[in-house]
């Protein structure tokens, strides 16, 4: 009898916990089915939007046509917005206009990349491609806008929809923040397409997700001359060689192996004559750390090492770490409580098997600027589908998107925002 009673008690406790978990995020099976069904009915519309954006990609701070398309769709939905922000950005809102306020963000810009995928809706702009999925990000947020507008009587509070320019190197997020796009938002969510996660799934990870990123350029100046009389020169090639070798020791000998950092020299440029020692050598590359503090420390040591090695070889060093068009990005660090919120929503909306643990990567993402102001989470939305060729990484000329992910992303946006507002409306 004792064993039977204990087993029944365990079952009761599990049912209570499951019930509490479900009530906490206001999702049950009928909610999930209704929302996914509503999003699914919009698939053709979503696909048409994504293809129009994909065919006409625009680089950072040049997203005029993309912005016009967004505003046209918002006008058709009767959703108010503010424009322009940071040149081409748009901020719309759905709901009561009062608190609580939650923000959803999508980036709009494309890459300077020649698309090599041959299909009907290939980029029509030579040398420019949506090779990172931002066309899908915009589409999914527009889909969320449409669904939220249809459901605005079901929640209290406001959802701010941020369509942001210039994620690819331009730090568009910092410009948007400077112009007040967050308003009274107390939390922000975004998603990024993920070719390693199957379509129909999401992945999310608390804590550090993407790296803090900086770029650098250095110029080692010596005294050039004929290669037959090297003793009459001050050779910047030798000094540069020692600089590059010494920089590699910053990671191998000064960084805790458990603290992920990267220092990569990506180019070296010098003279072209075979019999002349050049007057200077230029080189540069990138620095990355999974903590913003780690990046600052790495930048400081990079300068010290280059200047020290140049001086040891009688040369002069000029170092630039604030490169126009490539500002430093902080690390994306997901708020733990909000990550738990996304996990709970994902499990109940898509199922436990389709809600996965994310992975840290050393790429940069300017969503981190928003997280420096308010708590936020960036989650990954799966697009991997071998059957349609959605298997290539972002920034590849062969990158291809499984468009079946579009309604899924729209539904996830809505569920994350609606449930957040419902959970926090009592405290306002």
On whether both 337 and 309 belong to a single domain, the answer is no
pLDDT tens readout for residues 324-343? 878 999 999 999 999 999 99
Q: Which of 320, 343, 358 is the last residue of a domain?
A: 320
> What is the average per-residue pLDDT within 407-413?
98
Mean pLDDT score across all residues of the chain = 94
Q: Is 56 annotated as a binding residue?
A: no
Q: What is the pLDDT of residue 330?
A: 97
Tokens 């199957």 belong to 198
> What is the average per-residue pLDDT within 354-361?
97
102 domain-assigned: yes
Contact 416, 346 (CB under 8 A): no
Examine the pLDDT at 15 and tell me if it is beyond 60.
Answer: no
7 domain-assigned: no
150 domain-assigned: yes
Q: What is the pLDDT of residue 428?
A: 54
8 domain-assigned: no
Q: What is the pLDDT of residue 209?
A: 98
Distances (CA, A) of 114 to 48, 118, 356, 363, 416: 22, 11, 32, 21, 35
2 domain-assigned: no
Distance of CA 224 to the CA centre of its chain: 44
Which CATH number fits the domain that encloses residue 312?
3.30.70.360
In angstroms and rounded to an integer, the radius of gyration of the C-alpha atoms of the chain is 25
pLDDT tens readout for residues 211-235? 999 999 999 999 999 999 999 999 9
Q: Which residues lie across from 372 on neighbouring strands?
A: none
Q: Is 192 annotated as a binding residue?
A: yes
**CA atoms of 309 and 165, how far apart (whole Å):** 40
Tokens matching residue 80: 């108010």
Q: Which domain holds residue 73?
A: 26-208+331-427
Examine the pLDDT at 122 and tell me if it is beyond 70.
Answer: yes
Helix axes 29-41, 336-350, angle to 10 degrees: 80
Contact 152, 94 (CB under 8 A): yes
Question: What are the strands, taking DSSP E only, across 152-259?
Answer: 158-164, 187-198, 202-204, 207-210, 212-221, 225-226
275-304 burial by CB neighbour count: b if 16+ within 10 A, else e?
eebbebbbbbbbbbbbbbebbbbbbebbee
Contact 217, 323 (CB under 8 A): yes
On whether both 227 and 243 belong to a single domain, the answer is yes
On whether both 287 and 372 belong to a single domain, the answer is no
Cis peptide before 100 (omega within 30 of 0): yes
The count of residues in the chain is 428
Q: What is the pLDDT of residue 17?
A: 41
Q: What is the pLDDT of residue 14?
A: 40
Number of domains in the chain: 2
Q: What is the pLDDT of residue 314?
A: 98
Contact 142, 73 (CB under 8 A): yes
On whether both 129 and 31 belong to a single domain, the answer is yes
Q: What is the pLDDT of residue 5?
A: 47
On whether both 314 and 245 belong to a single domain, the answer is yes
Contact 218, 319 (CB under 8 A): yes
Cis peptide before 358 (omega within 30 of 0): no
Q: What is the pLDDT of residue 71?
A: 98
Examine the pLDDT at 346 and tell me if it is beyond 90.
Answer: yes
DSSP code for 393:
P
130 domain-assigned: yes
Q: What is the pLDDT of residue 427?
A: 58
Contact 194, 381 (CB under 8 A): yes
> What is the average per-residue pLDDT within 89-104?
96
**pLDDT class for 11, splitting at 50, 70, 90?**
very low
Examine the pLDDT at 9 and tell me if it is beyond 70.
Answer: no
Q: What is the pLDDT of residue 421?
A: 97
Which CATH number fits the domain that encloses residue 350?
3.40.630.10
On whether both 161 and 251 belong to a single domain, the answer is no
10 domain-assigned: no
On whether both 34 and 126 belong to a single domain, the answer is yes
What is the pairing mode between strands 376-384 and 202-204? antiparallel
On whether both 163 and 225 belong to a single domain, the answer is no
Q: Which of 277, 293, 320 is the last residue of a domain?
A: 320
Q: What is the pLDDT of residue 13?
A: 40
16 domain-assigned: no
Contact 86, 107 (CB under 8 A): no
DSSP code for 37:
H
On whether both 354 and 297 belong to a single domain, the answer is no
Examine the pLDDT at 144 and tell me if it is beyond 50.
Answer: yes
Q: Is 25 annotated as a binding residue?
A: no
Examine the pLDDT at 311 and tell me if it is beyond 50.
Answer: yes
On whether both 394 and 346 belong to a single domain, the answer is yes
Q: Which of 320, 346, 362 is the last residue of a domain?
A: 320
Examine the pLDDT at 258 and tell me if it is beyond 60.
Answer: yes
DSSP code for 108:
-
DSSP characters for 329-387?
BPPEEE-HHHHHHHHHHHHHHH-GGGEEE----S---TTHHHHTTS-EEEEEEEEEBGG
> What is the average per-residue pLDDT within 229-254?
97
On whether both 134 and 171 belong to a single domain, the answer is yes
On whether both 68 and 107 belong to a single domain, the answer is yes
pLDDT tens readout for residues 17-62? 444 444 455 678 899 999 999 999 999 999 999 999 999 999 999 9
Tokens matching residue 53: 């954006």
Contact 318, 236 (CB under 8 A): no
Q: How many CA atoms lie within 13 A of 58 on its CB side?
A: 19
**CA atoms of 47 and 52, how far apart (whole Å):** 9
Q: What is the pLDDT of residue 42?
A: 98
């Amino acid at each position: 009898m004792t064993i039977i009673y204990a087993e029944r008690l365990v079952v009761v406790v599990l049912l209570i916990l499951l019930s509490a978990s479900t009530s906490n995020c206001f999702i049950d099976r009928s909610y999930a089915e209704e929302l996914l069904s509503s999003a699914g009915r919009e698939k053709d519309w979503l696909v048409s939007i994504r293809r129009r954006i994909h065919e006409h990609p625009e680089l950072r701070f040049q997203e005029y046509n993309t912005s016009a398309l967004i505003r046209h769709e918002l006008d058709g939905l009767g959703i108010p917005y503010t424009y322009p922000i940071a040149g081409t950005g748009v901020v719309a809102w759905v709901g009561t206009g009062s608190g609580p306020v939650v923000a959803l963000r999508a980036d709009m810009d494309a890459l300077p990349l020649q698309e090599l995928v041959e299909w009907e809706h290939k980029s029509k702009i030579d040398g420019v491609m949506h090779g990172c999925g931002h066309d899908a990000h915009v589409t999914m947020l527009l889909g969320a806008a449409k669904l939220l507008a249809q459901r605005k009587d079901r929640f209290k509070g406001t959802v701010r929809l941020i369509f942001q320019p210039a994620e690819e190197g331009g730090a568009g997020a910092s410009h948007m923040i400077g112009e007040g796009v967050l308003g009274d938002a107390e939390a922000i969510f975004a998603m990024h397409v993920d070719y390693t996660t199957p379509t129909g799934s999401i992945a999310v990870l608390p804590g550090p997700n993407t790296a803090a990123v900086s770029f650098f350029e250095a110029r080692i100046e010596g005294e050039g001359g004929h290669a037959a009389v090297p003793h009459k020169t001050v050779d910047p090639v030798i000094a540069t060689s020692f600089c590059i070798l010494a920089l590699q020791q910053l990671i191998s000998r000064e960084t805790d192996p458990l603290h992920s950092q990267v220092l990569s020299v990506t180019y070296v440029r010098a003279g072209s004559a075979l019999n002349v020692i050049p007057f200077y050598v230029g080189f540069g590359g990138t620095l990355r750390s999974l903590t913003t503090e780690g990046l600052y420390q790495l930048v400081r040591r990079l300068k010290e090492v280059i200047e020290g090695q140049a001086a040891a070889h009688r040369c002069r060093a000029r170092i630039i770490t604030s490169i126009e068009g490539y500002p430093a990005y902080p690390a994306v660090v997901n708020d733990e409580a909000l990550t738990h919120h996304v996990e709970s929503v994902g499990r109940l909306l898509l199922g436990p098997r389709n809600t996965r643990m994310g992975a840290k990567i050393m790429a940069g993402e300017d969503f981190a600027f928003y997280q420096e102001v308010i708590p936020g989470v960036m989650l990954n939305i799966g697009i991997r589908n071998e059957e349609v060729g959605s298997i290539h990484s972002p920034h590849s000329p062969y990158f291809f998107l499984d468009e079946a992910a579009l309604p899924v992303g729209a539904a996830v946006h809505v569920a994350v925002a609606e449930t957040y507002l419902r959970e926090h409306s009592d405290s306002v």
